[in-house]
């Protein structure tokens, strides 16, 4: 009978050393550790993050989103291959949507980006979005730090698609790229205004063949729309570019624009201010996550929650009354636990 061997567990020092040496296997295992929901893994992951933190922050973080069918994966592969061809180390973190019903996820981005995934200067890591809104995984920030410590020059985050909560990716990247299509109906009505306002650039993809005229018209329409928005705090003027990921047209121009943005933001100080704001918000997001996690895992709450849900569903109790009652119970239970500890 074939024996099954369990993977040896690494210590925090072994994880940190392997990551700093660019070991892809240890990096992948560290990301799995970061994404784990086990309490013991969480404690080890926090120690690893503390050890590698001094070696992070020197990477350019790019967020890419767009309407379904816009060719995000095709563009990212072409863009990533261009970056590796000019000597850049590139990490791509792709987020696949998790089914609310089955909790499953396809995680097919390595298949869609097969050429880039096999590039020795690139690393493609798909993750499921889980229960997190906003098109990003709850541990995307931590994963990004691990990749930075591993020596990548550029980190690309591809999100699950345009939606009302998709703008959360803007809060974890330096540059936010929105990919759109021409000829797909009324383009300006096909996307939320809030996402357009947050975009640092809009890319009209599939600008080739018989579609070029439509793409040029869409480019002008988007450019006109951008002029109606309030100026960004960093005083950057978002631009609209044409691209054909299949024909590799507009790829170099996109990188040049991103570099112009980076230079602009660093010169006026907005680059560092943005990252500081993001770090502060990250802390508050983690606080919110653990408050909610602890609430729903509270034994007292678990006992009475079904009854309160039933009362709200049948209209016997207003939702606000039930919520406040449950929060009060959690608060009392927390005070008792604190007294027991101290």
Give yes or no for a contact between 147 and 27, defined as CB atoms under 8 angstroms apart. Answer: yes
pTM, 2 dp: 0.86
Q: 226, 200 in Cβ contact below 8 A? A: no
E strands present in 35-184: 60-66, 90-96, 122-128, 154-158, 175-180
Tokens of 111: 């298949």
Q: How far lies 129's CA from each of 50, 132, 135, 311, in Å? A: 24, 6, 7, 32
What pLDDT, on a 0 to 100 scale, did the predictor assign at position 19? 98
pLDDT at position 68, please? 78
How many CB atoms neighbour CB 313 within 10 A? 10
- Nearest Cα to Cα of residue 203 among 248, 164, 254: 254
Confidence of residue 336 (pLDDT cuts 50, 70, 90): low
Picking from 120, 69, 126, the residue whose alpha carbon sits closest to that of residue 97 is 126
Q: Strand order in 154-158's β-sheet?
A: 122-128, 90-96, 154-158, 60-66, 175-180, 201-204, 239-242
Q: How far apart are CA 66 and CA 323, in angstroms?
A: 36
Q: In the prediction, which pLDDT does 97 show?
A: 57
For residue 239, the surrounding DSSP H or E stretch is strand 239-242
- Calculate what percentage of the chain has a pLDDT beyond 70: 82
- pLDDT tens-digit readout, 117-126: 999 999 999 8
- % the chain with pLDDT above 90: 62
On the question of pLDDT at 243 being above 70, the answer is yes
The structural domains of the chain, ordered by start, are: 9-55 (1.20.5.170), 57-268 (3.40.50.300), 298-341 (no CATH)
On the question of pLDDT at 166 being above 90, the answer is no
pLDDT at 1: 46
Q: Is 80 exceeded by the pLDDT of residue 187?
A: no
The pLDDT value recorded for residue 106 is: 42
Residue 17: CB partners within 8 Å, gap ≥ 6?
none
Q: What is the rounded average pLDDT for all residues in the chain? A: 85
């Amino acid at each position: 009978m074939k024996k099954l061997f369990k993977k040896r567990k690494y210590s925090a020092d072994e994880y940190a050393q392997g990551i700093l040496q660019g070991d892809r296997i240890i990096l992948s295992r560290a990301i799995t550790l970061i994404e784990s929901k086990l309490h013991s893994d969480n404690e080890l992951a926090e120690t690893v993050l503390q050890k590698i933190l001094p070696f992070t922050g020197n990477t350019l973080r790019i967020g890419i989103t767009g309407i379904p069918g816009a060719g995000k994966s095709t563009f990212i592969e072409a863009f990533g291959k261009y970056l590796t061809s000019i000597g850049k180390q590139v990490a791509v973190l792709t987020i696949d949507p998790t089914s609310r019903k089955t909790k499953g996820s396809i995680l097919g981005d390595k298949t869609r980006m097969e050429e880039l995934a096999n590039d020795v200067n690139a690393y493609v890591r798909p993750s499921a979005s889980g229960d997190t809104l906003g098109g990003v995984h709850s541990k995307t920030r931590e994963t990004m730090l691990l990749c930075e410590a591993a020596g990548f020059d550029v980190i690309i985050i591809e999100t699950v698609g345009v939606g009302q909560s998709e703008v959360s990716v803007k809060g974890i990247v330096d540059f936010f790229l929105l990919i759109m299509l021409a000829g797909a109906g009324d383009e300006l009505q096909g996307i939320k205004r809030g996402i357009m306002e947050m975009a640092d650039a809009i890319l009209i993809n599939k600008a080739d063949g018989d579609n070029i005229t439509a793409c040029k018209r869409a480019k002008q329409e988007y450019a006109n729309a951008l002029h109606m928005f309030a100026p960004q705090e960093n005083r950057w003027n978002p631009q609209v570019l044409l691209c054909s990921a299949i024909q590799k047209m507009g790829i170099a121009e996109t990188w040049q624009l991103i570099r112009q943005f980076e230079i602009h933001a660093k010169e006026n100080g907005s680059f560092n201010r943005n990252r500081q704001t993001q770090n502060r918000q990250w802390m508050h997001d983690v606080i919110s996550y653990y408050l909610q996690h602890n609430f729903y895992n509270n034994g007292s709450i678990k006992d009475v929650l079904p009854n309160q849900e039933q009362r709200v569903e049948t209209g016997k109790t207003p939702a606000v009354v039930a919520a406040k009652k449950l929060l009060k119970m959690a608060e009392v239970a927390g005070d008792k636990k604190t007294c027991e500890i101290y």
